[in-house]
Amino acid sequence: MPYLDTYTTPLTAATAAHLLRRATAGPRKPEISAFTGLTATEAYDSLLANVQYYPEPVIHLDTGNAGFGTALNSGAPFDTDSNFGKVQSVRFWWLGLMANQSRPPSLLEKLALFWQNHFVVSSEVVTEYRFVWRYLNLIRDNALGNFRSFVKQVTIDPAMLEYLNGNQNVNGAPNENYARELQELFTVGEKDFYGNANYTEQDVKEAARVLTGWRHYNYWWNGTTSIYSAFQLNRHDTGNKTFSAKYNNAVITGNNTTNAGNVEVDALVSMLLNHPETPKFICRKLYRWYVNPNVTEEIENNVIIPLANFFKSPGNNFQIEPVLRKLLTSDIFFDISNRGAILKSPIELIIGAYRLFNLPPPNAATEPGPAEKYLGNVWWNTLSMQMPITAQSSVFGYEPYYLASRSKGWLSSATLALRYQFADTLIWPWLQVTPSYKLGLDLVGWATSLQPNFGNVAASAAITTEQILASFSEHMFVFPLSTAQQNFLIDTIMMQGIPRSSWIFEWNRYRQTPANLDNYNSVRWRLSLLMRYMLRMAEFQIS
């Protein structure tokens, strides 16, 4: 297998859908059609070209606040009373970017979600909306940039200083929280592929000394108009820092100038990136996010190590985008064994369904009330399914991305029931987003759109169960349904064991008198049975 060689076969509908499922929150059907026939490189170039770093503003969507429906201004005087509604508005803003259906598909938000779950900062701990907003902008702005610069900026970001106690890290009383997570979770990783430790406790202590002196300012300070972080020399340990053999006994020379914070952090980041395990750790996580949670020794040797060597090479110098390009256009990415290999996360399940079925979010700037209903629905569903956006329960991130079970961890007896419940809201919608928009599927309307000459039974034959199944299942499944599966869905689920010919009778009776409630409900019941079971089948796949 060529592994990282460029995939050269023009994309089919199936492979185009695979790329869009993995690179975005979920594809829309027109997007799959537009990408069909492109090469992998052309498709990737399109996803990259569609990146928008400066999208629509954050709209205040706290219905209980006087500023409801207006754009947030990070420079406005901080108001403690409206803060929590603004934190939620920032979350809604990002969910809205993922769910948006008016812009062409981009790889930014799915990648930003990866980095937000890598460099975790929880809004449940930080709580101040300006800190969360600035942090999310940092993540999005650097998602495709240089990893070296990214690590440095995250390290001294006000939100991270608050989240992992860097604000309390001072000479004489160093706080080791960030120094530990910087190595264990953000750069070198706790252990290598074979289980060997990548750093020591000494390295944690010395890194903490390097990081002394950084502070954030104006956190939860009523009336302030800015937040920032800065270095204070009088809080810094100016002595030399000596690391273990894991870092080749490197010494970061102590500095007592006003620029000591930047000088020593730069030296620390360089030392961490020079560790042979850092590029492998990052590339392994990218592979698990985009390709397959299972990294075998074969994959480690033929994909992770070559990709890591490219990542750190002088020609690339830790640029992220070329690594992503190489991975998402590779033979291994499109290999049949990697399709259907990742279970849908709650965000991909919910937003992916809304995108596939053309259920877009209202524009928050022009329809704040409907947008709050829609995005609030997404938020509460992801929260109940254990994936609250920006609100991970620990610095390790969402559990299914680091536990041995990997993506299968999204399923439990509780979350499975919630996933089924979400599918049912698509079939029997209840949320009235606007007077003319109920968040769910009009299955009878969908079937009606397939029927030529709907009102004239004599002029055209009734649509068949096979036609309905083909339309309902378009792009829903990774692999085509087998004949046995199709027969089961039609005969056992939709028709409940009675002959298919009876469908023709039911459908034509509805066509003749669509206003008759009994006729409508008879048709709707069969269509609902079919779609309900199909959605439950599809919940166990992402791509």
Mean pLDDT by 10 residues, the chain (543 residues): 94 98 96 98 98 92 92 94 96 97 97 98 98 98 98 98 98 97 98 97 98 98 98 98 98 97 98 98 98 97 98 98 98 96 94 97 97 98 97 96 86 91 96 98 98 96 98 95 96 97 97 97 98 86 47
Q: Which pair of structure tokens corresponds to residue 480?
A: 């085509």
242 DSSP β-pair partners: 251
One-letter identity of residue 76: A
Convert 254-266 to b/e letters by CB count within 10 Å (16 or more is b): bbeeeebbebbbe
pLDDT at 355: 97
pLDDT at 301: 98
Dihedral sign (CA 535, 20, 144, 61)? negative
As a whole number of angstroms, the distance between CA 137 and CA 390 comes to 12
pLDDT at 404: 79
pLDDT at 70: 97
pLDDT at 247: 98
Q: Which helix (H) or strand (E) holds 399?
A: none
The DSSP secondary structure of 31-87, one letter per residue, reads HHHHHTT--HHHHHHHHHHT--SS-SPPB---TTSTTTTSBP-TTSPP-GGGHHHHH
User: What pTM value is reported for the model?
Assistant: 0.97
pLDDT at 2: 86
pLDDT at 35: 98
- Label the pairing between strands 251-252 and 432-434: unpaired
Return the ∠ at Cα 145 (arms to 144 and 149), rounded to 5°. 140
pLDDT at 86: 97
| Phi, psi (deg, nearest 5) at residue 215 | -140, 155
As a whole number of angstroms, the distance between CA 305 and CA 324 comes to 15
